[in-house]
Structure 1
Amino acid sequence: MTAPAAPGATSASHSLARRIVAAFVMMPVVLGALWLGHPYWTLLVALAAGMMAWEWRRLTAQGTVGAVGWAMVLLAAAAVLLLGFGQVPLALWALLGGALLLGLVASLGEGWVAGAWVSLGILYAGLPSLAMVWLRDDPVSGLATLLWVLFLVWAVDTAAYTAGKLIGGPKLIPRVSPSKTWAGLAGGAVGAAIIGYLAACWAGQPNPWLLTGLSLLLALAEQAGDIFESAVKRRFGVKDSSGLIPGHGGILDRVDGLVAVALIVAGFALWGGGSPLAVWGS
């Protein structure tokens, strides 16, 4: 006679099943919009930016949204749309100015700490979203760059989760994120390095180890972004940013690592003369 499964094991298996189903639904949508480019990619990222702002406001304001929260949603989404439709300076000024203005408004009604969280949330949702649209707009390497970025982030999350479960061992930062281990960090780095090497070979780069090394560093940034969001949630006593994605939590829970990676890659492209896939290409 087979012993019944433990309640914890059953719950974990159900959670994993929900995560897999949600991933199979989301990935075709994301990759399809990315492949088609503007306006589909712009609209999807604008929607995600608005949802990120909504989740941030709820997370940092004890579950409430209010007028300030909805203004955050509109501002983040509008900035992405402006940039996607060619208004780059206006998008940046709208986002930065809006972050300052809404932060001041929130400070008047809720105190300066709440205002600071509002301003930070607008930038947290808006700047990486602008980076994702701006990177895709490169007609030469935009698609390839974002495919590399997305698969790198997915590889880090998957490899870190797998290594952490299979190997376990010492915790990375138990007071902030109790589930993360040093083994998971190492596994994520290996996953990123593999994606970087494959992407460099696919792009025909004469020295694939350059992109491999950068991907390894981006894995650390991805994990740092994950830890930052965990610290914010712990600060406000929240487990998930929302329940929008079954088995995954919220949008912020899924893009916490992507936020950091997108900003770094966009910064490289801006000050390095182009995407690493193009600059280091053959």
Structure 2
Amino acid sequence: MKPTSVETPSGKPPRRKLREHSELTQRIVSALVLVGIALPLIWLGGIATWIMAAALFALCLYEWRLMTAGAGASIAALGLAYCGLTFTLPIIRDALLPDGLFLLILLFLAVIASDVFAYFSGRAIGGPKLMPSVSPNKTISGALGGLVGAVVVASVYAAIVPQVTVMTAAVGAAVLAVFSQAGDLFESGMKRRFNVKDSSQLIPGHGGFLDRVDGLLGASIPMLVYVVLTT
């Protein structure tokens, strides 16, 4: 007779639930460490932000090459362009002084909020998958939750700082959330194509740097377009 597994009230075996809590704790701690490193560099701007972008570019490109080992020149060129989006961060920071700092913080807030709200709403609500052939765990409810979360957080931020209206921040955050999720899906598709789970194991609980900044790289595109059009 096979032993039956004991389940928690939520229906999940205790070991699985403990593993999920452990992974979530690792994700939170790692995220706080990364934010703690990035924020002072973003605040300083100038050479500090360029150094951050260069270091991030090198790490992301290293992981891209690990992830796509054996691929052709076209994939290598795609990785170079994709990872090169890290340099949009210092451009955004310094192009519109003094508003560049505000815009970069808004970018980070929208991406983080989209990721966090998508994670929790997707797990809580579930439902139809967003793009199961690319990322089997992502749901439509998660995508919508991420978009709403980004809009709410950006609106609160705009209500505190004077640089932009709440409506403008809300619309901008919605666009950033869509591009952030597209960046996430792009990297998920690449990992699925090359049959890897994470871009690396450099960040405990997070995988690799590409796994953490894929949404940021995607969202940096519309923000860079905005900066170019308004300078």
Equivalent residue number for residue 166 of structure 2: 208
Distance (whole Å) between structure 1 residues aligned to residue 199 and residue 65 of structure 2 = 10
Distance (whole Å) between structure 2 residues aligned to residue 196 and residue 178 of structure 1 = 28
In the alignment, structure 1 residue 36 sits paired with structure 2 residue 44: yes
Shift of 1:61: 0.7
Shift of 1:6: 2.8
Equivalent residue number for residue 53 of structure 1: 61
Distance (whole Å) between structure 1 residues aligned to residue 38 and residue 29 of structure 2 = 15
Unpaired runs of 5+ residues, structure 1, are 63-112, 275-282
> What's the RMSD between the two structures over aligned residues?
1.7
Map of 1:162-173 to 2, 5 A cutoff? Answer: 162-173=120-131
Q: 2:90 aligns with which of 113, 133, 151?
A: 133
Shift of 1:129: 1.5
Shift of 1:207: 4.4
Q: In structure 2, what residue type is equivalent to 1:131?
A: T
Distance (whole Å) between structure 1 residues aligned to residue 189 and residue 53 of structure 2 = 25
Q: 1:175-218 CA deviation, whole Å, 9 max, x = no partner?
A: 21111111101110111111232233233367421221121122
Give the direction of change, closer, same or farther, for the CA distance of 1:12–1:140 in structure 2 (3 Å limit): same
SS of alignment partner, residue 7 of structure 1: helix
Shift of 1:8: 1.9
Equivalent residue number for residue 118 of structure 1: 76
SS of alignment partner, residue 246 of structure 1: coil
TM-score, normalised to structure 1, is: 0.74
Question: Is the Cα–Cα contact under 8 Å of residues 148 and 195 in structure 1 kept in the other structure?
Answer: no
Which one scores higher on RCO, CA 8 angstroms, separation ≥ 6? 2
Q: In structure 1, what residue type is equivalent to 2:42?
A: L
Map of 1:253-264 to 2, 5 A cutoff? Answer: 253-264=211-222
Map of 1:1-282 to 2, 5 A cutoff? Answer: 6-61=14-69, 114-126=72-84, 128-138=85-95, 139-204=97-162, 207-271=165-229, 273-274=230-231
Q: In structure 2, what residue type is equivalent to 1:238?
A: V
Distance (whole Å) between structure 2 residues aligned to residue 225 and residue 49 of structure 1 = 16
Distance (whole Å) between structure 1 residues aligned to residue 46 and residue 173 of structure 2 = 26
Unpaired runs of 5+ residues, structure 2, are 1-5, 8-12
Q: Give identity over the alignment, percent.
A: 38
Distance (whole Å) between structure 2 residues aligned to residue 231 and residue 178 of structure 1 = 10
Shift of 1:152: 0.7
Give the direction of change, closer, same or farther, for the CA distance of 1:206–1:160 in structure 2 (3 Å limit): closer
Distance (whole Å) between structure 1 residues aligned to residue 61 and residue 164 of structure 2 = 41
Q: In structure 1, what residue type is equivalent to 2:225?
A: G
Give the direction of change, closer, same or farther, for the CA distance of 1:206–1:228 in structure 2 (3 Å limit): closer
Distance (whole Å) between structure 2 residues aligned to residue 188 and residue 123 of structure 1 = 26
Distance (whole Å) between structure 2 residues aligned to residue 205 and residue 137 of structure 1 = 15
Of residues 135-144 and 237-246 in structure 1, the stretch that sits farther from structure 2 once superposed is 135-144
Of residues 205-214 and 29-38 in structure 1, the stretch that sits farther from structure 2 once superposed is 205-214
Question: Is the Cα–Cα contact under 8 Å of residues 109 and 154 in structure 2 kept in the other structure?
Answer: no
